[in-house]
Amino acid sequence: MHNSNIENRVDRLEWQMADILQPIGKSPRASNWRRTIGSFADQPEMQSVFDAAEQERERDRQAFYAEFDDSPSSSPSN
């Protein structure tokens, strides 16, 4: 490969990396998630959604643990 070919490739890669890295840290969404904390506190509809999600997660958790409780013992038999 000629030096000019390598230089061109490196130059293109540098531009591509600059494009990729430019938005990092400059996105307006970077810290906006914090503004949502507590924003649904006075909305009973959202509380019912949260309650349903919590109940579903608890059912999922119980089903997961039930798999281990119902499984045959792994202790060796004599």
> CA-CA distance, 62 to 42, in Å (whole number)?
30
Supply 62's token pair: 């119980």
Residues present in the chain in total: 78
Q: Is residue 67 pLDDT above 60, yes or no?
A: yes
Using pLDDT thresholds of 50, 70 and 90, give the confidence band for residue 71. Answer: low
49 vs 41, residue with greater confidence: 49
CB 69 within 8 A of CB 76: no
